[in-house]
Structure 1
């Protein structure tokens, strides 16, 4: 791959992108949600594990249920957003490896290794959540990633039918209200936290 993205595209995805706390009254369609997923799923995960599990919260009833699981400061962010995604992971992701990674018997790498699966599922689902944000921004949408919620309560509310799934973090998606963002926080120069050896 020899092409690079334009500066304007990099601005959209990274340099000018912000974390929004409030949202314009503008819907996000099912087609847009699926387009985000269709880009996100192309991002690499270890042995194509794809452990991320996503609940796209769009209805007023579901938003209220999720807001009830959130800290006070995040309730309005959820209620006001057109979509909030619950990013979780599947502790038994390895059951899907025979078709997701058919090149070898990758399922056997994880059988009987619950802690190893948890570590791998967590790491790779967080990667998928980051891909989700990049995809949403690339498609002209804004993001508001959040902690500040009760993962156990959220898991029980939204993954009750899948006992091996765990909610990890949230990300609202929509058209951000410019009035809702703070001044950009400092970003460290390369030498602050990097070493080339």
Structure 2
């Protein structure tokens, strides 16, 4: 498979920015379906696919989310066309007979094993969250991922009585460049990597 063009790499990585302001342009449900249908192909351990997403679009949904947010995240989240609650499913292993049919015992690797459930669900949903951001950017959407929220409040408001748990939030839409901060530095290879 050939490498992506420089333009594609810029769109996904080097020129992509975290957005805090949004143009008044809706994100269609069809685009959200397309977004999921791209991100779902990213790899996870034993193809467990623990990510679950609530796309909060409605005024009522946004108001339910408002008290869960840190003060600095309220205005930009209320203004975003969509806020995705990226969560994991603590019962993800119930889908393994479908998702990992080459080993029908895979469900037993996790069932009843809280530490293994949490580690796989959190790690896998975090990886899928990265795929979510890249898929959104590939579709022309801008992203504003954030951790400034009360997970217990989100879980109570959106997942009460379910096995889903909030990982992080991501505002998505069509960004207004006026809300973009100057690019912060990143670590160089020698600071963050080694080759053994």
| TM-score, normalised via structure 2 length | 0.97
User: d(CA) in 1 for partners of 2:14 and 2:136?
Assistant: 15
Count of residue correspondences:
195
Any idea what SS the aligned residue of 2:172 has?
strand
Any idea what SS the aligned residue of 1:53 has?
strand
- Shift in Å, 1:194: 0.7
What residue number does 2:192 align with? Answer: 193
- Shift in Å, 1:71: 0.7
| 4+ long deviations beyond 3 Å | none
Listed one character per residue, the Cα deviations across residues 39-74 of structure 1 (whole Å, up to 9, x for unaligned) are 000000001101011000000110111122101110
| TM-score, normalised via structure 1 length | 0.97
Any idea what SS the aligned residue of 2:68 has?
coil
Asked whether the equivalents of residues 67 and 76 of structure 1 are also in contact (C-alpha less than 8 Å), the reply is: no
Listed one character per residue, the Cα deviations across residues 8-48 of structure 1 (whole Å, up to 9, x for unaligned) are 00000000000011111010000100000000000000011
Matched, 1:64 2:63: yes
What residue number does 2:166 align with? Answer: 167
- Any gaps of 5 or more consecutive residues in structure 2? none
What residue number does 1:107 align with? Answer: 107
User: d(CA) in 2 for partners of 1:67 and 1:8?
Assistant: 37
What residue number does 1:130 align with? Answer: 130
Q: Report matched runs for 1:46-85 at 5 Å.
A: 46-85=45-84
RMSD (CA atoms): 0.8
